[in-house]
Amino acid sequence: MTTSGVVRVRFVLSYDGKDFAGWATQPDQRTVQGCVEGALTRLLGSSEPARLVVAGRTDAGVHARAQVAHCDIAAQAWERLDEKNSGRSASVLTRKLNSLLPDDIAIHHTDIAPPGFDARFSAQARHYRYRVHDRIYARDPLVRGHVMFHDRPLDVDTLNDASARLLGLRDFAAFCKPRHGATTIRTLMDFTWTRDTHTGILDAHVVADAFCHSMVRSLVGAVLAVGDGRRDLAWLTEVLSQNSRSSEVRVAPAHGLVLEVVDYPVDDQLSARASATRAKRTLN
Amino acid sequence: MTTSGVVRVRFVLSYDGKDFAGWATQPDQRTVQGCVEGALTRLLGSSEPARLVVAGRTDAGVHARAQVAHCDIAAQAWERLDEKNSGRSASVLTRKLNSLLPDDIAIHHTDIAPPGFDARFSAQARHYRYRVHDRIYARDPLVRGHVMFHDRPLDVDTLNDASARLLGLRDFAAFCKPRHGATTIRTLMDFTWTRDTHTGILDAHVVADAFCHSMVRSLVGAVLAVGDGRRDLAWLTEVLSQNSRSSEVRVAPAHGLVLEVVDYPVDDQLSARASATRAKRTLN
């Protein structure tokens, strides 16, 4: 529970990305991290500002359901909170954070993280969903904040054929904004499309061990070009073989994308997983 | 098709009510009717402004899916449109309206109304849904525009018991904003609640032949007070017996309410239904 005077607290939260400049704190910008850290710092009343580590650093405009983050809180501050709240610090923190936070963020759950847990490095897989509507007649204005409207008809079988070509352990350099010293090798575990028969909305499920910057939206953008007939599978294969970012891939708009779930191993493997991830990321 | 030089055209449309001062045109206000009539008038290029008649005159902030309206268009203007578009005026109108309208309105379907059709008076029933979330931990910020957050836990069985008391042909004066010369007698056909096991969202299905002003939201407000334990069934029965608007009923917020569907009889009974409705409304 407490190591070297800190308690690692785990948070599960959702947000509507529309009015945020993404997850990560940036000067003079409204960010999810900034809002949650501000509220936490205020609640803990500590001199040190709270710092969050997150599973998926979502870009500006990208949404999240069941995003996971952790924060190391000084054991003293935690004990103070526990004394005031008869040992129910975690649930009190959830309630108080929700009352301080704006209505585009919801904290679902707070608890003390199991030993070895790291929101970023212990994660095994990130599940994203991208939602598209391609029928203007059936468009529902109530969901336009998280369903992208595409003005050409899409074929779900073609989308699935194209997406299947991208699966596996590969270098996704063609789909990544380059970052110095960071690997672009990832394992794409799932990339499948379904169309809701009632609403007509197309829903892509995209799962990987981790994603590099703008990767999900680039993968979706590339596959959409095949799904609406502007490009073919040969083009996609050619793009995939490129070893730097392809200018031919249109990044799909942020508002269709939601980080849905983050997978972690069972508790006794959290630490091993974190070490393995750290080693892999440094290798490159 | 054309009677006395006009073609009656039927529209099915959806909108996000958030940024509208309701359906009905009002001076210096952004309204759904104002937007659609403006776009129609522009497309038809006629000197007379287009005038819409609607099935459900939704209040400020109330949403609609599959709202129905009609517009009498001068036969000459319609024929001009048909000549330009090889007889496909209706589908061309849908497409062009969507391209002119803002993204909080979607036109789903346009056709020539069957004989005797009146969007308002031929309607047999209006189906509304009211969505509520009572668990702050499970709240999804992405749907907060059309799901009302209620800060006390609600019991779905109690909600259903209370709602069932209101069914039938009754004078709903206690739940209506009074309007001179208008009846408050309505038939409430369905008022049932279900809770989605996955999201936890409570969904009320409210159906009546017609609703008077603010009636759905007053019914929902009254039943919520019973469902969270602030009031009991005896109170509800007492309210129902009042013959003027009850100050004890809190009108539920507009943003949880969606007009979902409007029912019409089969085509050969449209005219008879419209006459019957007109007679009933005038009686009072």
Domains of chain B in sequence order: 2-113 (3.30.70.580), 125-261 (3.30.70.660)
Residue B52 reports pLDDT greater than 60:
yes
Percent of chain B at pLDDT exceeding 90: 76
| A65 vs B104, B108, B140: nearest CB | B140
Average pLDDT over residues A224-248: 95
Span A106-114, mean pLDDT? 95
- A144: contact with B, CB 8 A cutoff: yes
pLDDT of residue A158 exceeding 90, the answer is yes
Q: Please check the confidence at residue A182 and state whether its pLDDT lies above 90.
A: no
Q: Best residue in A19, A96, A103, A142 to probe B by mutation, most B CBs within 10 Å?
A: A142
A95 touches chain B (CB under 8 A): yes
pLDDT, tens digit (0-9, with 9 covering 90-100), for A15-41: 999 999 999 999 999 999 999 999 999
Chain B residues within an 8 Å CB radius of A19: none
Residue A85 binned pLDDT confidence (cut-offs 50, 70, 90): confident
Chain A residues within 8 A of B136 when measuring between CB atoms: 95, 98, 106
B114 compared with B3, residue with greater pLDDT: B114
**pLDDT class for B3, splitting at 50, 70, 90?**
low
Which H helix or E strand runs over B64?
Answer: strand B63-74
Could B142 and A14 be called an inter-chain contact, meaning their C-beta atoms sit closer than 8 Å?
A: yes
Check if the beta carbon of residue A67 is closer than 8 Å to that of residue A15. Answer: yes
Report which of B145, B172, B157 is spatially closest to residue B61, judged by C-alpha positions.
B145
Q: What is the SS3 assignment for A86?
A: coil
Residue B8 has pLDDT above 70, yes or no: yes
The stretches of B3-88 forming alpha helices (DSSP H) are: 32-44, 75-84
Residue of A nearest to B13 (CA): A137
Q: Report the pLDDT value the prediction gives residue B116, as an integer from 0 to 100.
A: 95
User: Can you read off the two tokens belonging to residue A67?
Assistant: 């995003």
Structure confidence at residue A109 as a pLDDT band (50, 70, 90): very high
How large is the C-alpha radius of gyration of chain B? Answer: 20
What global pTM score does this model have? 0.91
pLDDT of B259 over the 90 cut: yes
Q: Does B242 contact A at CB distance below 8 Å?
A: no
A79 band by pLDDT with thresholds 50, 70 and 90: confident
| Nearest chain A residue (CA) to B94 | A137
Segment of A17-31, A167-181, B124-138 carrying the highest mean pLDDT: A17-31
Q: What is the pLDDT of residue B209?
A: 94
Residue A46 has pLDDT above 60, yes or no: yes
Q: What is the CA radius of gyration of chain A?
A: 20
Please indicate whether, in this complex, the C-beta atoms of B139 and A106 are within 8 angstroms of each other. yes
pLDDT band at A284 (very low <50, low <70, confident <90, very high): very low
- pLDDT given for residue B233 in this prediction: 97
The pLDDT tens digits for A259-279 are 999 999 998 899 888 998 888
Residues B9-21: tens digit of each pLDDT: 999 999 999 999 9
Q: Are A97 and A107 in contact (CB under 8 A)?
A: yes
Which residues are CB-contacts of A36 (< 8 A; sequence separation ≥ 6)? A11, A13, A52, A69, A97, A101, A105, A107
Mean pLDDT of chain A: 92
**B61-100 confidence digits (pLDDT tens):** 999 999 999 999 998 888 888 888 887 888 889 999 999 9
Both tokens of residue B171?
């004078």
- Mean pLDDT, to the nearest integer, of A99-123? 95
